[in-house]
Amino acid sequence: MTGWVGRSLPRIEDPALLRGEAAFTADLAIGARAVRFLRSPVAAGRIAALRPPPDMPPGALFVTAADLPEAGPIRPMLHRFDYRAVEQPVLPRERVHFAGQPVAALVAPTAEMAEDLLDEAVFEVEAEEAVVDLDAALRPGAPLVHAVAPGNVAVEGALRQPGVEAAFAQAHRVVEFAFRSGRQNATPMETRGGLAAFDRATGRVRLTASCQMPHALRSGIAEVLGMPEADLQVVAPHVGGGFGQKMALFPEYPVLVWLARRHRGSFAWIEDRNENLTASAHSRDQRHALRAAFDAEGRLLALEAEILANVGAFSTWPVTCGVEPLMAFAEYPGPYKVPAYAARARGVLTNTCTMAPYRGVSRPVITFGIERLMDRAAAALGMDRIAIRRRNLVDSFPYRTATGMTLDEASYVEALDAAAALADIPGFRARQQAARADGRLLGLGVSVFNERTGYGTPAFAARGMGIVPGYEVVDIAMTPTGEVEARIGASPHGQGLATALSQIIADRLGMQPGQVRIVAGDTDRTPYGWGTFASRSAVIGGGACQLAADRLAERLRAAAAKVLQTTPAQVTLRDGQAFGANDASLPLAELARLAHWRSDLFEGFSLAETAAYDPGGTFSNACHVAEVEVDPETGGVRILRYLVVEDAGRIINPMIADGQVRGGIAQGIANALFEEVVYAADGTCLTGTLADYVVPSCAEVPEIELHHMETISPATVTGAKGLGEGGAIGAPAAICNAVSDALAHLGVDVAEFPATPPRIRALVRAAEASIEARP
Amino acid sequence: MKVAFTVNGAPREAEVEPRRTLADMLREECGLTGTHLGCEHGVCGACTVLLDGAPVRACLMFGVQAEGAAIRTVEGLAAPDGTLNALQRAFQAHHGLQCGFCTPGFLMLATWLLERPDKLDEDTMRHVLSSNICRCTGYQGILASVRAAAQELGRWAG
């Protein structure tokens, strides 16, 4: 071991990106025939006419469902929770289900020409009544988005533990909280896009795509098109962010692959920002109602949650439309001891863009719910807000939750206490009072949460998923010149995974990280694996790398023992050399050369190994504290201070870990205060540009103070826990608690986020009106 | 239409449709794909390049408007052998990038900041860099990188 793990090693990914030499999908697509999609302008309707432009120039193509008779639907499965198997046609024949749904593809030599031609295509649709929001979809007699889902409910989970009624009956206080979470778009800086290139020599297609799960995408496309999977290669080159949005099998990709096969050429679709904002995938459009029973000491006796998630028009492949409602259902209690739990979660279909997982999935929503509930309970019980949390946090491990998950070692109470101390709450209260005297409104908010990370197949299987992701496989080998190549199924898209994994491997083999090459994002060159999502790659990919490297180390020790005339147990690997018993040593490069070229000395020796890793999962945790100033005249919120105490177990590369937390918080701030996808009543998406969908800049995102705890997880081989999502999870609750605190004297309580200036103004106006109306 | 300009000091000519954007011309006619397109409507700033010394959104200009101009792109920052310049080194040292898609735009905007006659201060830096969007870093790494580069180059006020 040479201690690379734990160091803020500069990222090996950076130089090519900084020189502008790293290739993203669009960079590779130049010269391919351009594909643009004709998209439905209406949210619901019957297709009356669909015809190509009257004057199609040579080389132009117009592709509709009629051209793809062999293409099956995209139909993800869930074998539980009353799941209705909604299916999405690659291109629709009869009806459209949301504004933005691709209806036809138009191919031309350039994207400009394709867009010109699209204007001339004939698409007539008899518009039907669209159901856009939860109320409209659940109204008795509402039009059905899909006949297969009566009442527009696609998935439903319900649980009522014994003891819930009794707990409410004996409660000292029942606290309720109903709220709404606005719809968000993950908004990676690079939009989706794909280049499908036919290789005439082999008959294979290479799909280069901006995606997070290349192997699964390959499987999904092969299934939909009924083609041999071996005839398709999927490559994820440099990917400009994903955050969950790029996990799904979108209909555009099978169309590209079909075009390449049918027309024996190269076809590229590069999504524009309008398509990304309206027709890729959305998230977090939910409404929850909570009831909680507390005893006189502030002990939570029971929690009841009613969860409604607008899942859009279709079910996202492979995770299904159950992903958001069922995560809220399973994980609502979070880090708290909840002796009795009842919940009902429904995924509701509407004529809007389909939902997909987005950083944290439902956790930002449930954390908002339970953390706002804690503040309300503290007020109702006259308790301190930190004290009520401390009283209820899980403090002995392992802890089995109401929904059967096992919480491993964590630092829920310790992180809360540390954050509260760092925040200097008494000092803040004094400043708050002083500011109030000057007419300035300051507020402080806290959120505590845990984050389920690094979970393998058991967790996904428990959800009843038809396709069960979870494991990762790593193929590792040493080249004759002594570098190590690790081929991984995980597929990074900005996380710096290659750097982090090279640190793990270098430690196990006594090498420099620079001697390690990570091969990722190519189904031809990597073993089948699930990709990068759900805060899993450092834990599961990292665990598999560690196991594979240990096996390779055994082989190296055995080979070195032969050369050094000692036993493998006597051999240590360090500083790029194998050392024997009496300090005799051999450079690993020399050993590698011998192993490959003089294998006769080693009885057919090889320096290749494979390892798989499939852990049960672990829980990171954190406490966020936000200090804000609210301008009651404009409704604007300024974040004055943002503090995090984070525990993600063993940190592999602190710089990268901090970057994940900070980036997550920026997206959580966006979720708390700025970003919202808005639909008109007829199902037209009103936020189709970045001028309408407000992504915060560095003027809105403050410096973030980060403090780490390291509770080494016994649940993972590296001791590391994932942390990719936590920042996004904790921020909406902390900020909205702070906003509510700033406005508490008016009786304002934030129950809808993002807490945009118009919403805060409306709350302030209503509060002032009700104060004036008092006798 | 034929357009003549220089990119990163080298004279170039391109035959472009009048409606083709500067960004598309740089990417497709000149093969300079380091300039990225994040929104194509002037909000995100990923396509920022320097045109006659000033930062512009390459998606909001036509290629033909570059006639006679001196354009600088991200490809011109490092030495010909690939050695990173001070700003690029600072981005690597201070984690100023994650996925790297917005990075060329931030680098060009920061290059302009560092070359202005006035030394750079915190408020100006934050104000100018708020022109561009990054989705990964939360900006702290970007600000730290530009601050560090300014300090190294003797361009930091204070």
Please name the fold of domain A471-613.
Aldehyde Oxidoreductase; domain 4 (3.30.365)
With a CB cutoff of 8 Å and minimum separation 6, the contacts of A444 are A423, A425, A428, A432, A625, A626, A627, A628, A737, A738, A741
- Numbered ranges of CATH 3.10.20.30 in chain B: 2-76
Residues A646 and A660 sit within 8 Å (Cβ to Cβ) = no
What is the DSSP secondary structure assignment for residue A672, as one 8-state letter?
I
Per residue in A123-156, pLDDT (tens digit) is 999 999 999 999 999 999 999 999 999 999 999 9
C-beta of residue A678 within 8 angstroms of C-beta of residue A685: yes
Q: Return the closest-CA partner of residue B138 out of A245, A8, A665, A244.
A: A665
| Positive or negative: CA dihedral B10, B15, B19, B25 | negative
Tokens of A266: 């190269």
ipTM higher than 0.90? yes
CA-based nearest distance B117→chain A, Å: 23
Written as six digits, the tokens of A732 are 């909406």
C-alpha–C-alpha distance, residues A17 and A135, integer Å: 46
Mutate to test the interface with A, among B8, B39, B41 (most CBs of A within 10 A): B39
Question: What mean pLDDT, rounded, does chain A reach?
Answer: 96
pLDDT of residue A459: 87
Please give the average per-residue pLDDT across B90-107, as a whole number.
Answer: 98
Backbone torsions φ then ψ of B35, nearest 5 degrees: -80, 115
DSSP annotation of A71? -
Q: What is the rounded average pLDDT of the residues A113-118?
A: 96
Q: Among residues A274, A282, A355, A364, which one has the least CA distance to residue A321? A: A355
Which strands make up the sheet holding A484-488, listed edge to edge?
A516-519, A484-488, A472-478, A608-613
H-only helix segments in A532-688: 542-564, 588-597, 654-669
Second CATH level (architecture) for the domain A31-124+192-270: 2-Layer Sandwich (3.30)
Residue A48, H or E segment: strand A45-51
**Average pLDDT of every residue of chain B:** 97
By the 8 A CB rule, do A124 and A42 touch?
no
Structure tokens at B32: 């300079």
pLDDT at A603 over 80: no
Q: Give the Cα separation of A121 and A762 in Å (integer).
A: 45
* Dist. CA A110–CA A423, nearest whole Å: 56
Give chain B positions within 8 Å (CB) of A656: 95
Task: Give contacts of A112 with chain B, Cβ < 8 Å.
Answer: 17, 19-20
Residue, of A606 and A563, whose pLDDT is higher: A563
Contacts of B48 in chain A (CB under 8 A): none
DSSP E strands: which ranges in A85-172? Answer: 95-96, 102-108, 122-127, 153-160
Residues of A in contact with B134 (CB under 8 A): 189, 698
Alpha helices in A565-682, H assignment, sequence order? 588-597, 654-669
Instruction: List every span in chain A annotated with CATH 3.30.365.10.
Output: 31-124+192-270, 286-394+404-457+616-773, 471-613
pLDDT in tens, A750-761: 999 999 999 999
Closest Cβ opposite residue B135 in set A24, A241, A656:
A241
Secondary structure class of B22 (helix, strand, coil): helix
The verdict on whether omega for the bond into residue A398 sits within 30 degrees of 0, i.e. cis, is yes
Averaged over A655-666, what is the pLDDT?
97
Residues A367, A284 contacting (CB under 8 angstroms): no
Burial class (CB in 10 A: 0-12, 13-18, 19+), B140: buried
Q: Which fold has domain B2-76?
A: Ubiquitin-like (UB roll) (3.10.20)
Closest to A683 measured CA to CA, from A10, A37, A136, A123: A136
Taking CB atoms and an 8 Å cutoff, what residues of chain A touch B143? 698
Specify the pLDDT at position B25: 97
Q: Are A195 and A268 in contact (CB under 8 A)?
A: yes
Do the Cβ atoms of B74 and A19 come within 8 Å? Answer: yes
Report d(CA A63, CA A38) in Å as an integer.
Answer: 10
Q: Percent of chain A, pLDDT > 70? A: 99
Which residue is closest to A24 within chain B, CA to CA?
B101
Q: What is the CA radius of gyration of chain B?
A: 15
Which ranges in A62-210 belong to alpha helices (H)?
111-120, 134-138, 164-169
> Is the Cβ pair B129, A698 closer than 8 Å?
yes
Looking at residue A2, its pLDDT comes to 63
Side-chain-side CA neighbours of residue A12 (13 Å):
15
Identify the residue whose tokens are 């001791």.
A719
Report the CATH number of the A286-394+404-457+616-773 domain: 3.30.365.10
pLDDT tens digits along B9-63: 999 999 999 999 999 999 999 999 999 999 999 999 999 999 999 999 999 999 9
Domain B86-152 architecture: Orthogonal Bundle (1.10)
Of B34, B40, B97, the CB nearest to A272: B40
Domain with CATH 1.10.150.120 in chain B: 86-152
pLDDT at A223 over 80: yes
A132 and A43 Cβ atoms separated by less than 8 Å:
yes
CA distance A10 to chain B (A): 6
Condensed to tens digits (0 to 9), the pLDDT of residues A670-705 reads 999 999 999 999 999 999 999 999 999 999 999 999
pLDDT in tens, B58-82: 999 999 999 999 999 999 999 999 9
Number of C-alpha atoms within 13 angstroms, CB side, residue A572? 8
- Please answer yes or no on whether B100 and A666 come within 8 Å at the CB atom: no
Q: Is the pLDDT of residue A1 over 60?
A: no
How confident is the model over A315-353, as pLDDT tens digits? 999 999 999 999 999 999 999 999 999 999 999 999 999
Write the pLDDT tens digit of every residue in A715-741.
899 999 999 999 999 999 999 999 999
User: Which of B 96-115 lie inside 8 A of A, CB atoms?
Assistant: 97-104, 107
Tokens of A244: 């969950």
Round to whole Å and give the CA distance between A342 and A55.
61
pLDDT in tens, A453-471: 998 998 888 888 889 999 9
Alpha helices (runs of H) in A129-186, residue ranges in sequence order? 134-138, 164-169
